[in-house]
């Protein structure tokens, strides 16, 4: 039984691929783990997992960078996102928002299902198509979901894994705060470096078992 490592972009895990001498490609197979680069966003992620996820995987590890709603979490800190919500699925009712469950169309939040112990801060996240960058919409989202982090793929990974009953972990490194857009404040290089340092250690430990 193998681990499937899932990332949206090759850039986020390039250092890990280099460490294990793996040539970048959308899907890489090795003895101990496979790697799937999905592309950014929920649709690309769901499509890629629809093609490659199957029951030979005992664990899926989704990694990447993410935004944080909490200034208490430092830029570059790694977090273990244990629950993730499709935040935009629903309907507008003038100024109000009716979520998917409120509409009667089922769940909008999905959990990791994994019992792997990680020594990282555990948080809950939301997954969006449109990265927040407006104070008013950020305020509304906080009031609705009280999220700690935001990504563009996490809930799609948890959803696909829940459909097949496969445990999933989502580890992300905080590259920015969710705030009025200011791209100059983003610390992508630091976040990616810290993510890869952790990921290499995790995969080495797993390989030695
Ligand atoms: O320039 C931008 O506005 C921009 C917005 C989102 C992501 C990027 C990227 O370059 C990386 C893609 C990757 O990043 C994740 N991510 C990072 N921070 C956030 C966020 O605050 N909200 C949502 N997603 C975020 C996301 O999962 C993408 O896969 C550039």
CATH classification at residue 56: 3.40.50.1580
Phi, psi of 10 (to 5 degrees): -65, -35
Q: Is 185 helix (H, G, I), strand (E, B) or coil?
A: helix
Handedness of CA 15, 19, 22, 28 (dihedral sign): negative
Task: Tell me if ipTM is over 0.90.
Answer: yes
**pLDDT tens, 146-155?**
999 999 999 9
**How far, in Å, is the centroid of ligand 1 from the Cα of 116?**
26
Report the pLDDT value the prediction gives residue 1, as an integer from 0 to 100.
78
Q: How many Cβ atoms are within 10 Å of 77's Cβ, its own excluded?
A: 16
Collapse the DSSP code of 68 into the 3-class scheme (helix H, G, I; strand E, B; otherwise coil) and give the result. strand
Residue 161 has pLDDT above 80, yes or no: yes
Question: 78: domain range?
Answer: 2-207
Distance (Å) from CA 15 to ligand 1 centroid: 19
pLDDT band of residue 8 (cuts 50, 70, 90) is very high
Mean pLDDT of the chain: 97
Position 2 scores a pLDDT of 95
When divided into structural domains, the chain yields a total of 1
pLDDT tier for residue 208 given thresholds of 50, 70 and 90:
confident
Instruction: Compute, in angstroms, the gap from residue 190 CA to the centroid of ligand 1.
Output: 14
Residue 207 pLDDT > 90: no
pLDDT higher than threshold 90 for residue 209:
no
Q: Which residues line ligand 1 (CB under 6 A)?
A: 8, 40, 64-67, 128, 131, 150-153, 175-176, 178, 183
Residue nearest to atom 6 of ligand 1 (CA): 131
Give the Å distance between the CA of 9 and the centre of ligand 1: 11
Would you list the DSSP string of 40-52? SSHHHHHHHHHHH
Is-contact 113 161, C-beta < 8 A? yes
Strand partners, 122: 80
pTM, full prediction: 0.96
Residue-wise pLDDT for 29-88, tens only, equals: 999 999 999 999 999 999 999 999 999 999 999 999 999 999 999 999 999 999 999 999
């Amino acid at each position: 039984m193998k681990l499937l490592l899932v990332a949206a972009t090759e850039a986020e895990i390039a250092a890990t691929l280099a460490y294990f001498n793996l040539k970048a490609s959308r899907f890489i197979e090795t003895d101990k783990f496979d790697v799937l680069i999905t592309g950014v966003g929920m649709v690309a992620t769901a499509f890629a997992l629809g093609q490659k996820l199957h029951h030979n995987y005992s664990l899926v590890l989704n990694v990447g960078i993410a935004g944080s709603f909490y200034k208490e979490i430092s830029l570059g800190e790694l977090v273990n996102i244990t629950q993730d919500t499709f935040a935009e699925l629903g309907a507008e009712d003038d100024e109000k928002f009716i979520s998917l469950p409120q509409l009667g169309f089922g769940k909008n939040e999905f959990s990791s299902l994994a019992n792997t112990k990680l020594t990282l801060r555990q948080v809950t996240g939301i997954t969006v198509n449109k990265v927040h960058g407006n104070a008013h919409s950020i305020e509304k989202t906080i009031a609705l979901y009280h999220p700690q982090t935001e990504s563009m793929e996490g809930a799609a990974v948890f959803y696909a894994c829940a459909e097949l009953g496969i445990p999933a972990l989502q580890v992300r490194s905080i590259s920015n705060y969710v705030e009025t857009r200011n791209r100059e404040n983003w610390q992508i290089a630091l976040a990616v470096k810290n993510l890869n340092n952790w990921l290499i250690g995790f995969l080495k430990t797993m390989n030695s078992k």
